[in-house]
């Protein structure tokens, strides 16, 4: 029976929802999103959204053109199928919002049971509606599905209200960003749902897809694409970079750099639910300190807290409260952990993202070997020290990238070594300096930086190149045995070490025996087999090896004997101790005797006065190096210490 004239339903909103959900599904499949426990609700909800919209569009097509498409049984299946799929969408939204709380996750069974009861009521309502009105009626030119639409929209409103109430009751257990999202999008969804209920009656507009598709899209963008972790509320390193780029130099920003040290980070984060609860509670307590405090997660054990605060006194008070939160958690948690907290203001010395990151890494290295928890607020001297460190690091990186063996920023000095047997200087040790602007930086400062940045081998190749060039310029006219250079422990185990060194030596057509390499004991222990193989290979080319700084490392005499060393270079600390300690004197005398009996040459370094000289000569050292005999001089001038050849 026809009851009124018909106005066709406008479903442009459903088309928009279909395109949006299709795009979202495509992005999720191809951008490798962060697949947390809750990601499945976003993914499954998006697929159900596509299915529901297709059903909705087909229903509207039939309603607008019943003469062409209507079939009673098929249309009934379409309606019921949509209602069931829509219930699945509501389940995904309901679960996603509530499972953002770790407490609610512990109550998952109760929540599933509650939603099962709501679903049963929903299905019973469908049965009653079908029995009472069939969910739809005929008009003059089409099918009236307004009652059908109002029914499932009512279910959506109930779901939104329940989600908001559950989130409000659980406010302290969810992250600030999650709560803000709920406060923004649940009321917005309610407005759209109510608008749908009104407009389907007044104007026959159907846009119900816009009530659920945006929820999945916002959830994906916030928590699974880049910025936020749904449990901790922390943002990613990319979000931190974006924040710093936007606000550095415009606001007073304090950084609190946190490194957690625990026996098993997996236990702390995933396996132990009590530890997980405390971990999340730390984040909640941090957020409650100040609305200006932002949380960022760098890795499983590294976090950055950003505090916007113009008052230094208030900022330091909040930073102390951050420390208090971690101290309390250390007491409460069963999983043992320590922390390193470094806090400091961003200043002109840290005016780029790279500098910020490197500054706090630079400070944190001081505490890397500490077993206890550490708390440190940066000082004026830290910024000055970092500026020097950063400048040196930049120069070293540039040297490595340019790969110029004649780089003028590597300055080579040489310290002559005195031969006790001949009473003359027969060799020298090449010493590297780094030129940064107008300053010469000592190797004690820049070598660790070069090693940590992977540039040390390039620096060694440069000094070898310059030593070979110097040797080539005066070896024909001056009598000397060799010039030694230091070989880093990092490069002694490199597979291409022999090739790189020999290419440089052959370039200047000098005798390889004129080059000697000084290797520390520590270097031998990093990769003994590879190091020994490289040494054997270079020895076969005529290059001799010194065991440098003997007495400061951990080598056994057996290992020393088995390596192709020719010279044992005793560290100066042994000399200084032996002068005042009879036991050390006996040990040193014994070691000298053992090495000389086995054909090794002995060399002592650090001789600076007559008493040290007399002691060294009396103990039988073959060579002596120190300021008493000669100070380092530019490599080009070291020839002045050598005797001229008689043919000259």
pLDDT tens for 256-297 read: 999 988 754 444 444 455 666 777 888 889 999 999 999 999
Please tell me the predicted confidence (pLDDT) of residue 158: 92
Above 80 in pLDDT, residue 19?
A: yes
Please tell me the predicted confidence (pLDDT) of residue 2: 43
Q: How far apart are CA 64 and CA 208, in angstroms?
A: 17
Within 10 Å of residue 579's Cβ, how many Cβ atoms? 13
What integer best gives the mean pLDDT of the chain? 89
Classify burial at 479, counting beta carbons within 10 Å of its beta carbon; exposed 0-12, middle 13-18, buried 19 or more.
middle
Above 90 in pLDDT, residue 222?
A: no
- Residue 517 Cα distances to 413, 430, 433, 548, angstroms: 16, 10, 17, 9
Average pLDDT estimate for 365-382: 92
Q: How far apart are CA 96 and CA 87, in angstroms?
A: 14
Contact 92, 49 (CB under 8 A): no
Q: Of the CATH numbers 3.30.70.270, 3.20.20.150, 3.40.720.10, 3.40.470.10, which one belongs to the domain with range 237-378?
A: 3.30.70.270
- Residue 164 Cα distances to 93, 107, 181, 183, 587, angstroms: 11, 17, 11, 8, 78
The token pair at 470 is 């110097």
Listed residue (624, 589, 632, 627) closest to 605, CA to CA: 624
Kindly indicate the confidence band of residue 647, based on its pLDDT and cuts at 50, 70 and 90. low
Task: Tell me which residue has tokens 């409000």.
Answer: 168
Contact 82, 14 (CB under 8 A): no
Q: How far apart are CA 460 and CA 466, in angstroms?
A: 10
Kindly indicate the confidence band of residue 648, based on its pLDDT and cuts at 50, 70 and 90. very low
Q: In terms of residues, how long is the chain?
A: 648
Listed residue (195, 191, 214) closest to 205, CA to CA: 195
Q: How far apart are CA 232 and CA 38, in angstroms?
A: 13
Tens-place pLDDT, residues 66-84: 989 999 999 999 999 999 9
Tens-place pLDDT, residues 593-608: 999 999 999 999 999 9
Beta partners for residue 648, in sequence order: none
Tens-place pLDDT, residues 509-529: 999 999 999 987 665 556 778
The β-bridge relationship of strands 410-419 and 633-634 is antiparallel
Q: How far apart are CA 315 and CA 321, in angstroms?
A: 10
Element (H, E) at 550: strand 544-550
Average pLDDT estimate for 111-137: 87
Average pLDDT estimate for 2-15: 78
The token pair at 156 is 């959506």
Average pLDDT estimate for 135-139: 85
Contact 587, 377 (CB under 8 A): no
Listed residue (475, 462, 553) closest to 509, CA to CA: 475
Please tell me the predicted confidence (pLDDT) of residue 317: 96
Q: Of the CATH numbers 3.40.50.720, 3.20.20.450, 3.40.50.620, 3.40.50.2300, which one belongs to the domain with range 400-644?
A: 3.20.20.450
Q: Which of 19-23, 235-239, 378-382 has the weakest average pLDDT?
A: 235-239
Kindly indicate the confidence band of residue 139, based on its pLDDT and cuts at 50, 70 and 90. confident
Contact 9, 204 (CB under 8 A): yes
Q: Is 1 strand, coil or helix?
A: coil
Q: Which of 31-45, 222-236, 291-305, 571-585 has the weakest average pLDDT?
A: 222-236
Q: How far apart are CA 612 and CA 335, in angstroms?
A: 55
Tens-place pLDDT, residues 387-446: 999 999 999 999 999 999 999 999 999 999 999 999 999 999 999 999 999 999 999 999
Within 10 Å of residue 265's Cβ, how many Cβ atoms? 15
Contact 418, 629 (CB under 8 A): yes
Average pLDDT estimate for 302-314: 94
Out of 161-165, 223-227, 272-276, the most confident range is: 161-165
Q: Is 227 strand, coil or helix?
A: coil
Tens-place pLDDT, residues 444-491: 999 999 988 889 999 999 999 999 999 999 998 999 999 999 998 778
Kindly indicate the confidence band of residue 185, based on its pLDDT and cuts at 50, 70 and 90. confident
Above 80 in pLDDT, residue 539?
A: yes
Contact 604, 624 (CB under 8 A): yes
């Amino acid at each position: 029976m026809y009851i009124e004239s018909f106005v066709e339903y406008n479903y442009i909103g459903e088309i928009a929802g279909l395109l949006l959900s299709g795009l979202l599904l495509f992005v999720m499949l191809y951008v490798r999103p962060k697949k947390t426990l809750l990601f499945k609700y976003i993914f499954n909800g998006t697929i159900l959204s596509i299915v529901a919209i297709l059903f909705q569009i087909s229903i509207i097509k039939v309603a607008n053109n019943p003469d062409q498409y209507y079939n009673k049984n098929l249309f009934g299946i379409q309606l019921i199928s949509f209602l069931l799929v829509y219930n699945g969408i509501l389940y995904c939204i309901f679960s996603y919002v509530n499972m953002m709380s770790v407490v609610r996750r512990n109550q998952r069974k109760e929540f599933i049971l509650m939603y099962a009861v709501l679903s049963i009521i929903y299905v019973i309502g469908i049965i009653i509606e079908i029995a009472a009105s069939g969910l739809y009626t005929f008009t003059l030119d089409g099918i009236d599905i307004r009652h059908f639409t109002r029914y499932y929209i009512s279910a959506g409103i109930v779901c939104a209200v329940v989600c908001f109430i559950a989130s409000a009751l659980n406010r302290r257990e969810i992250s600030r960003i999650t709560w803000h999202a709920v406060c923004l999008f649940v009321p917005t969804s309610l407005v759209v749902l109510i608008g749908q209920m009104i407009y389907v009656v007044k104007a026959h507009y159907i846009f119900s897809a816009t009530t659920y598709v945006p929820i999945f899209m916002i959830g994906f963008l916030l928590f699974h694409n880049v910025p936020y972790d749904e449990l901790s509320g922390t943002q990613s390193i990319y979000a931190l970079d974006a924040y710093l780029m936007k606000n550095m130099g415009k606001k007073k920003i304090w950084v609190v750099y946190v490194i957690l040290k625990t026996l098993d980070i997996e236990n702390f984060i995933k396996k132990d639910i009590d530890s997980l609860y405390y971990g999340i509670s730390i984040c909640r307590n941090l957020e409650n300190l100040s609305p200006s405090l932002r949380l960022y997660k760098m890795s499983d054990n590294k976090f950055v807290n950003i505090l916007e605060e113009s008052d230094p006194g208030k900022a330091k008070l909040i930073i102390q409260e951050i420390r208090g939160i971690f101290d309390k958690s250390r007491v409460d948690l069963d999983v043992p952990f320590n922390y390193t907290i470094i806090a400091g203001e961003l200043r002109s010395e840290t005016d780029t993202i790279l500098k910020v990151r490197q500054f706090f890494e630079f400070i944190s290295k001081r505490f890397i070997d500490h077993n206890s928890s550490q708390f440190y607020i940066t000082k004026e001297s830290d910024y000055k020290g970092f500026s020097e460190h950063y400048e040196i690091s930049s120069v070293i990186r540039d040297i490595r990238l340019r790969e110029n063996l004649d780089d003028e920023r590597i300055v080579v000095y040489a310290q002559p070594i005195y031969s006790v047997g001949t009473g003359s200087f027969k060799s020298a040790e090449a010493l590297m300096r780094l030129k940064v602007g107008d300053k010469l930086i000592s190797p004690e400062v820049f070598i660790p930086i070069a090693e940590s940045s992977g540039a040390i081998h390039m620096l060694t190749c440069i000094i070898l190149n310059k030593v070979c060039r110097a040797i080539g310029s005066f070896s024909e006219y001056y009598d000397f045995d060799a010039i030694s250079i230091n070989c880093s422990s990092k490069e002694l185990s490199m597979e291409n070490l022999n090739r790189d060194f020999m290419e440089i030596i052959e370039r200047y057509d000098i005798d390889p025996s004129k080059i000697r390499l000084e290797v520390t004991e520590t270097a031998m222990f990093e990769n003994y087999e590879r190091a020994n193989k490289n040494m054997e290979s270079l020895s076969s080319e005529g290059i001799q090896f010194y065991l440098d700084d003997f007495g400061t490392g951990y080598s056994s005499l057996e290992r020393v004997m088995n390596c192709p060393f020719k010279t044992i270079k005793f560290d100066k600390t042994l000399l200084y101790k032996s002068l005042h300690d009879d036991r050390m004197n006996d040990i040193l005398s014994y070691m000298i005797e053992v090495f000389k009996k086995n054909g090794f040459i002995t060399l002592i370094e650090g001789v600076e006065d007559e008493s040290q000289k007399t002691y060294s000569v009396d103990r039988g050292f073959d060579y002596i190096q120190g300021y008493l005999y000669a100070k380092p001089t530019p490599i080009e001038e070291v020839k002045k210490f050598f005797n001229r050849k008689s043919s000259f």
